[in-house]
Homo-oligomer: A and B are copies of this chain.
Amino acid sequence: MRQDHIISAKQLSRADIEEVLDRAADIAADPGAFADRHDDALLGLLFFEPSTRTKMSFTAAMKRLGGDVVDMGTVESSSVKKGESLADTVRVVEGYADALVLRHPSEGSAKMASDYVDVPLINAGDGAGQHPTQTLLDLYTIRENAGFDDLTIGIMGDLKYGRTVHSLAHALTEFDARQHFVSPESLQLPRSVRYDLHEAGADVREHTSLEPVLSELDVLYVTRIQAERFPDESEYREVAGEYQIDAGTLADAKDDLTVMHPLPRVDEIDHEIDATEHAKYFQQAHNGVPVRMAILDMVLEGER
């Protein structure tokens, strides 16, 4: 893989993805071997939206490689509020760092910003757009737990607004996975995503209930249904309640079903599942470190 920028999971071929996952596996197996690999490198962090997992795991990843970060801080503490354009901000900050990570609320902002800079830029989420490093850590977690051979995955919850889900579904078409989408009717896949998956030759089915497909699944990927998507609180509660899982729900699942969630969760997965072998969502979050180390290692390597 030789990538100047990491903007979208769609830019990555199956070979690219496997190269990242293989390197991440090497890192996870022997992190000490990578501890001084990018000793003098600085990563610029530009987070225009709140983030815990993504920002902390990029920071940990860079520091586990021996490097360090230079953080813009919150929008409120920066000169962005003085009216500076994103193009100007990234052109300034590229002078302070060897690579940039950008999270921004506007779809397409990462691509636009990447056109202005010479250092590699990694998209850490652009609104309803892409979040490729999340997709890669999701794929890593799937490969680690279920493997890609003959994979059947269920993706449940908010399929309309969840960029994580769109990205993952698209990437899974590279691995010939059978995909079952489970959601309330009002939160089904957008037409454009459905079309896109169809074009990519995906094996996709849509459902309004988990029950009929649960027993076939190797992986169940749960996402949060947000109250603000519904006209009122009571309607939200009624709908959301049907897409929550607990130990009872999983009674009919395969013994080795892997349950994933991009986090934060609220009520979608009952806490009693945390202690079961199914629960891989914390491991999934932790996988952000080796996967982002692999990505940083590759883009910084390209810079040398």
Contact = CB atoms under 8 A, between A and B. Distances in A.
A84 interface: yes
Interface stretch (A6-14, A63-71, A177-185, A252-260): A63-71
Nearest to A47: B77
Nearest to A84: B264
B289 A88 contact: no
A72 interface: yes
Main SS at interface, chain A: helix
Contact of A79 (B42, B83, B264): B264
Contacts of A84: 52, 263-266
Interface string A25-57: 000000010010000101010010011110111
Contacts of A70: 56, 59-60, 63
A265 B88 contact: yes
Query: Closest 4 CB pairs between A and B?
Result: A95-B286, A84-B264, A60-B96, A52-B78
A282 interface: yes
A50 B68 contact: no
A56 B97 CA distance: 10
Nearest to A63: B68
Contact of A52 (B32, B42, B79): B79
Nearest to A267: B83
A89 B32 CA distance: 26
Contact of A92 (B40, B266, B282): B282
A74 interface: yes
Contacts of A50: 76-79, 81
A271 B35 CA distance: 42
